[in-house]
Amino acid sequence: MKEITVAHSPDSDDAFMFYALVNNKIDTGDLKFVNILSDIETLNRKAFEGVYDVTAISFHAYAYVSDKYMLMPCGASMGIGYGPILVAKKKFSPSDLKDLTIGVPGTLTSAFLILKIFEPNVKYKVIQFDKIIDAVLNDEIDAGLLIHEGQLTYSNSGLVKLIDFGEWWYDQTGLPLPLGGNAIKKELGIQLMKKVSRYLYESVKYALENRYEALKYALQFARGMDDNLADKFVGMYVNELTLDYGEDGRKAVQLFLDLGFERGLIPNKVKVEFVEY
């Protein structure tokens, strides 16, 4: 029995995707999957060291580890006309952004890269993603860049939306905004990479076909969201592009990283590689 380590963030959408794989709902033959939960910025950093066989990863971070990992063709989180949201206590003009200090959830997140593509000269402070709303309310920062459930709950705190970067990206490109995917270590060899990718596909498919069951499991990871809101959140980020990126999804990831390189935000030009099974 070969063990494969699978790391993802403790979020309801990731939990929904991996539900079948880590709860033995699908037959994985001679492979045993060991589940590790950690926040996305930590996983991004661990990928630099090649710690896990399979890891959730920000597309921004993938740019730095494409020598070690390939992207799996399923399991992507993409915002189709929505994405990370910039919020503040009051409205600002986008042209004021460079004068503000913005709380960001990590410099390797895709949210940070899209912010810098939008305004390269922004001043920022790294704050744990679930502490950003409080930091805005307490005036530690002028505005906050929200990922995960904060995108749906910020208005409960009286904050206002300045920019939805998924909306802005879609207006600019007509493509979904690539946020996170799943990467697999190249050293496993192509046959094993294909087999594991196929099992992840089966896991996502199982969750979509057994939505209530998978959602019930995922709800334990829904920080501060009621069942309806968690259902909405999972629906936003486990969509038709999650089973397979498709042409638009693949194009979007390459464009995102190309723009990062052209703006001097990523040091090397990256050729995005997908496991094809």
Instruction: Enumerate the domain spans of the chain.
Output: 2-78+179-262, 85-173
Among 209, 208, 221, 190, smallest CA distance to 72 is for 190
**How do 54-58 and 69-71 pair as beta strands?**
unpaired
Collapsed DSSP state (helix, strand, coil) of residue 21: helix
* DSSP structure class, residue 99: G
**Is domain 85-173 annotated with CATH 3.40.190.10?**
yes
**CA separation (Å) from 175 to 5, 121, 248, 251?**
32, 25, 6, 8
111 in a known ligand binding site: yes
15 in a known ligand binding site: no
∠ CA 72-253-50, rounded to 5° = 45
Q: What is the pLDDT along the chain (277 residues), one digit of tens a residue?
A: 899 999 998 888 889 999 999 899 999 999 999 999 998 889 999 999 999 999 999 999 999 999 999 999 999 999 998 889 999 999 988 888 889 999 999 999 999 999 999 999 999 999 988 898 899 999 999 999 988 776 667 777 888 899 999 999 999 999 999 999 999 999 999 999 999 999 999 999 999 999 989 988 988 876 666 778 778 878 878 888 899 999 999 999 999 999 999 999 999 999 999 998 7
**How do 143-146 and 101-104 pair as beta strands?**
parallel
CATH topology of 2-78+179-262 equal to that of 85-173?
yes
How far the first Cα of the chain sits from its last, in Å, is 22
Out of 8, 60, 116, 148, pick the active-site residue. Answer: 148
Residue 8 falls in the annotated catalytic set: no
| Residues contacting residue 213 through CB under 8 Å, at least 6 positions apart | 19
Dihedral over alpha carbons 101, 104, 109, 110 (to 10 degrees): -60
User: The whole model's pTM is what?
Assistant: 0.92
Cβ pair 78, 17 in contact under 8 A: no
Q: State the CATH architecture for 2-78+179-262.
A: 3-Layer(aba) Sandwich (3.40)
